[in-house]
Amino acid sequence: MAALKGRNLLSLADLTAEEMMRLIATAAKIKSGEINPQCPQKILGLVFKKASTRTRVSFTAAMYKLGGQVIDLNANLTQIGRGEPAADTARVLDRYLDVVAIRTYDQSEVEEFAQHSRIPILNALTDLEHPCQILADLLTVQEEFGGFKGYTMTYLGDGNNVAHSLILGCALAGMNVRVATPEGYEPDSTIVEQAQAISQGNSEVVITHDARAAVDGAHVLYTDVWASMGQEDDAAKRIPIFEPYQINQKLLDIADKTAIVLHCLPAHRGEEITEAVMEGSHSRIWDEVENRMHAQQALLAEVLGAV
């Protein structure tokens, strides 16, 4: 049963559709109390080079709920922050820990960790992908609609790491995905082609510049900040470019009447999403937040062989 035992998760594309659906099902069972996997004496290391609230706390809470321990390897307090090569750090941590979650800039860094480690390496966010976030997002969608086929996820905003993982995750789930961005801010074409190959025509993968067309009839509206970490210098100039992609009541009115709204957070209220929509009856953002913990508890339990 432990198909993911010892495995890395560097990208959602590392999973088959069946493996991803198993993770979501495991997360749902953990949340409902149907199962309570335990990983006593297992240790999770957090190697975070980017600031974090939800990812840090949800991973920590998830590991504690599994009966394990967590070591927060703050880059400012370890040799990582003084330039120790990723390969050397990986081989050291491999001797002490049971699993490592890495939140950093370059995708190549998590890949290098994985190359030099025998324990599971989990991508807790890079500039290319955010796979753990999307596991929680899809759990939230499943809770709302009971499945994925025939439903449409629309992402509005920057074609960033969240957009990349959403495209891959929806393709694996058989859910239609539309991404609406300004010209010049589209998601990576390689990721889009990868998702189209995964979907095999069973669900649509659409990239457009037309926010209204992308939202029309959609069941999930999703957004993220318009300037990600490391892009702060561009934040002010991006605002007028991205304004047509703000999730507001006008766009929500075009979506399916049962549509829900998601945001990976932190949010800049009044920019990518209005206060009214974020706090309105269509928002499932706080359920989505909680589901980070359940999804990561499932992921840790799977890679550590506890389920």
> Could you tell me how many residues make up the chain?
307
Distance between CA atoms of residues 257 and 18, nearest Å: 30
Please give the annotated binding residues for carbamoyl phosphate, written as ranges.
Answer: 52-55, 79, 103, 130-133, 264-265, 292
Fold of 132-288: Rossmann fold (3.40.50)
Contact 266, 220 (CB under 8 A): no
Same fold, 12-130+292-303 and 132-288: yes
> 125: alpha, beta or left, given left = phi > 0 and alpha = psi -120 to 50?
left
pLDDT at 58: 98
Measured CA to CA, the distance from residue 30 to residue 298 in angstroms comes to 7
Question: What's the CA gap between 245 and 231, in Å, rounded?
Answer: 18
Query: Annotated catalytic sites, by residue?
Result: 103, 130, 133, 224, 264, 292
Torsion, CA 212, CA 234, CA 104, CA 38, rounded to 10: -40
Determine the Cα–Cα distance for residues 187 and 16; give it in Å rounded to an integer: 22
Kindly report the backbone phi and psi dihedral angles of residue 207, in degrees, each rounded to the nearest multiple of 5, phi listed first: -115, 125
Q: Report domain 12-130+292-303's class.
A: alpha beta
DSSP strands (E only) in 14-144? 43-48, 69-72, 99-103, 121-125
Calpha distance 261→276 (Å, rounded) = 12
pLDDT for res 2 = 65
Query: What DSSP element (H or E) covers 110?
Result: helix 107-115
Residues 6+ away with beta carbon under 8 Å from 246? 156, 223, 271, 272, 273, 274
- Cα separation, 67 vs 59, in Å, equals 13
Binding residues for L-ornithine: 161, 224, 228-229
Q: Is 193 exposed, middle or buried (0-12, 13-18, 19+ CB in 10 A)?
A: exposed
Q: At what angle do helices 285-303 and 54-65 cross, to 10 degrees?
A: 50
pLDDT in the model for residue 126: 98
The residues spanned by each domain of the chain are 12-130+292-303, 132-288
Provide the residue-wise pLDDT of the chain in tens; the chain has 307 residues. 468 999 999 999 999 999 999 999 999 999 999 999 999 999 999 999 999 999 999 999 999 999 999 999 988 888 988 889 999 999 999 999 999 999 999 999 999 999 999 999 999 999 999 999 999 999 999 999 999 999 999 999 999 999 999 999 999 999 999 999 999 999 999 999 999 999 998 999 999 999 999 999 999 999 999 988 677 778 899 999 999 999 999 999 999 999 999 999 999 999 999 999 999 999 999 999 999 999 999 999 999 999 9
Q: Please tell me the predicted confidence (pLDDT) of residue 235.
A: 86
Query: What count of Cα atoms within 13 Å lies in the side-chain half-sphere of residue 149?
Result: 5
3-state class of 102 per DSSP? Answer: strand
Q: Which residues participate in the annotated binding site?
A: 52-55, 79, 103, 130-133, 161, 224, 228-229, 264-265, 292
> For residue 90, what are its two tokens?
């990986």
How do residues 200-228 score in pLDDT, each as one tens digit? 989 999 999 999 999 999 999 999 999 88
Sequence-distant (≥ 6) Cβ neighbours of residue 143 within 8 angstroms? 28, 287, 291
Which value, in Å, is the radius of gyration of the alpha carbons in the chain? Answer: 19
